[in-house]
Structure 1
Amino acid sequence: MTLYPAIDLKDGKAVRLTKGLMESAKIYSDEPWQLVKAFEEMGAEWVHLVDLNGAFAGEPKNLEQIVKIRENCSVKLELGGGIRDEKTIQKMLEIGINRIILGSIAVKDPQFVKDMAAKYPIAVGIDAIDGYVAVEGWGEVSQMKATDLAREFANAGVEAIICTDVGRDGTLSGVNVDFTLDIARASKVATIASGGVKDENDIKALIATGEIEGVIIGKAYYEGTLDLPKMFKLLA
């Protein structure tokens, strides 16, 4: 089980949202790179970055902070939020991002994602509200079931699928293990759980399935309901 500490970037700051609502943003740091460095020192192999402004704008907006993180930290970075074309993918990889997360574009143009996965390290972000895929920074809900989208990327060469239960995201209400398993089984791709993680019990429940590759840790760390350094030691 890989733990992916998460940082959401909004207006250059590290924040967390509740249920994806921008107006719910709570600021945790004015210097996101310092948080990434702390995660690295705890033992993180990966850090999960989301450019929230970018997700709504359709193009990266927190570039200065992303560059600063890369320059100051050696941990692997995956980045999502507003990445919709090959030029942007190339730019982010040149900066030193290790894996690109494609979300909204995966619904609108799955073939593009498959083409990119053949050339670059790509993860697909599947965010769902009541089982249906949410796009455009979760501002819209599509008519596509999350499991159908996951199935689209079986044998497509993507490195991972990151599935988020939007209704639980940032709520500390517990991870949706069943939803994550459904995505993993539909796609047969390494699947990373996201949304609602509260404490050690959530991590153990995901590990117990034997089918889930990783989990994204956000508010549980920031609000102190999960002892992240302890979890890294347990999983080392």
Structure 2
Amino acid sequence: MGSPGKFFLLILFGLSFGSQAFAVVLPKRDQVLKKAQHLLDTWTISYVYGGNKLSDPKTCQACNACLDLHKSDPKERLSDCPVCNDCSLDCSHYTFEVFKQAGLHATYLTTALMNDLPPDELAKKYNLLDIGRRIDRAMPGDLLVYNGHVVLLEKKGKDGRGDVIHVTSGRDLRGPGHGIQRERQAMLASFRGPVLRILRHLDLAREMRDFYIQQKTKTSALDKPAAISE
């Protein structure tokens, strides 16, 4: 997997398979979704701009208590509460952590780079495939990138809506320790302004491609007429 042509073929495989892929639980994609939910269910961390580490529950609680006391703006939280250096995340570090815990090869990059890098560089250096911005092409496990924010798509619903998991400091934040949030039935194309890019980890794209080829091969074998013995 090195040339731009091969990356393009991965996209074509995914798009040609279409909605059939949503009915199939593929192992790597399933692992990504399970890790995203596990972090949501088990870590009481806060959103901190630049936060990039999960430490231990005691450190996380100390960070949360400090933030509750200071009421700092997101970009001032690390300076006001140095303990948060050891247990806090921002949105892009959360998606990086999910991929890493799911066993995918992940290299961290900011949301600005997710939006600005050319597709070939995203694929070669960061193992991320640019799917475009059409929500109907997005699949669970994909990253939806907005201006200054990224979320992980957990479930697609009807009419362009779906469930996402992300780390946030915005209007939906319920307080320190609740940085990881699930938003149900979000309007995906405009959740945090217009969606600017949909990114799929190459391992998930390859997994879908391989499944597609396998299904095509099975279908072709079934369609072959049986040999007539004399």
TM-score (norm 2): 0.26
Larger % of helix: which? 2
- Structure label with greater radius of gyration: 2
- Higher RCO (C-alpha under 8 Å, 6+ residues apart): 2
